[in-house]
Amino acid sequence: MSVNVTARQEKLADLVKSATVIPVLTIERLEHAVPLARALVAGGVRVLEVTLRTPVAIEAAKAMIAEVPDAIVGIGTILNGDDLKRTEALGAKFGISPGATPELLKAAAASDLPFAPGIATASELMQALAHGLDLVKFFPAEQSGGIKALRALAGPFPHIRVCPTGGIGEANAAAWLAEPNVLAVGGSWLCPAADIRSGNWAGISAMCARAMKTLKPA
């Protein structure tokens, strides 16, 4: 099992690292899914996290996978083993959770899906590591103590790889990305809800292009 988990974690690490920024997408209307994915990809943002926060999330992710081949679609807000199974079944490339229960960690370790559990404390991180999951989502990042808290966690766990999400935006993304343990950051600032609702796809593409230009790691 551990060899499998390690291989999946490496696959996920490559994906996350290539992303720099992973937009956290909450899609309210199915018809927004494909144009939103196209707008993000046009702006140079290809790794997308569709959260399971709305009734249309699964269908939205399916549409993106089918119609926007350049997008690398993952699922966020995975809360249990059933969510994990649904994510695998629809052909998503990765899964992310805001936190992790023992049941979810066990299911993730046994599944074929590259997966990053959410952690905010040393104990949660130890549970993730016990299941071979060394790439984690630090959430909610700013509200859990920010960069200082991440550095404190990296003391006893220097090899962790992190995608912080929560309270990260244009103003502080670069500071987070400068941390040695951070592979990418997650956030919803690249696609504001108002822009999605109004169909301002060009505006979203422009914001993505600007972020990719300024945030590319050295």
Distance from C-alpha of 21 to C-alpha of 208, rounded to nearest angstrom = 9
Cα 114 to Cα 33, 37, 111, 163: the distances in Å are: 23, 21, 8, 14
Mean pLDDT of the 146-170 span: 97
Distance from C-alpha of 19 to C-alpha of 58, rounded to nearest angstrom = 22
Whether the CB-CB separation of 52 and 83 falls below 8 Å is answered with: yes
Per residue in 26-84, pLDDT (tens digit) is: 999 999 999 999 999 999 999 999 999 999 999 999 999 999 999 999 999 999 999 99
Whether the CB-CB separation of 136 and 117 falls below 8 Å is answered with: yes
Average pLDDT over the chain reads: 96
Which residue, among 1, 8, 38, 37, has the nearest Cα to 117 in the 3D structure? 8
User: Binning pLDDT at 50, 70 and 90, where does residue 218 land?
Assistant: very low
Distance from C-alpha of 62 to C-alpha of 30, rounded to nearest angstrom = 10
Q: Domain 2-210 falls in which CATH fold?
A: TIM Barrel (3.20.20)
The pTM for the full model equals 0.96
> Hey, where are the domains in the chain?
2-210
First to last CA, the chain: 35
Per residue in 166-206, pLDDT (tens digit) is: 999 999 999 999 999 999 999 999 999 999 999 999 999 99
pLDDT at 1 over 50: no
For 98-134, strand residue ranges (E) read: 115-116, 118-119
Cα 150 to Cα 51, 172, 217: the distances in Å are: 24, 14, 19
pLDDT at 3 over 80: no
Mean pLDDT of the 149-166 span: 98
Per residue in 92-117, pLDDT (tens digit) is: 999 999 999 999 999 999 999 999 99
Q: Output the pLDDT for position 217.
A: 59
Mean pLDDT of the 9-21 span: 96
pLDDT at 2 over 70: no
Which residues lie closer than 8 Å to 114 by C-beta, 6 or more apart?
Answer: 8, 9, 11, 12, 15, 93, 94, 95
Catalytic positions = 49, 137
Mean pLDDT of the 17-25 span: 97
Burial of residue 186 (number of CB atoms within 10 Å: 0-12, 13-18, 19+): buried
Mean pLDDT of the 160-168 span: 98
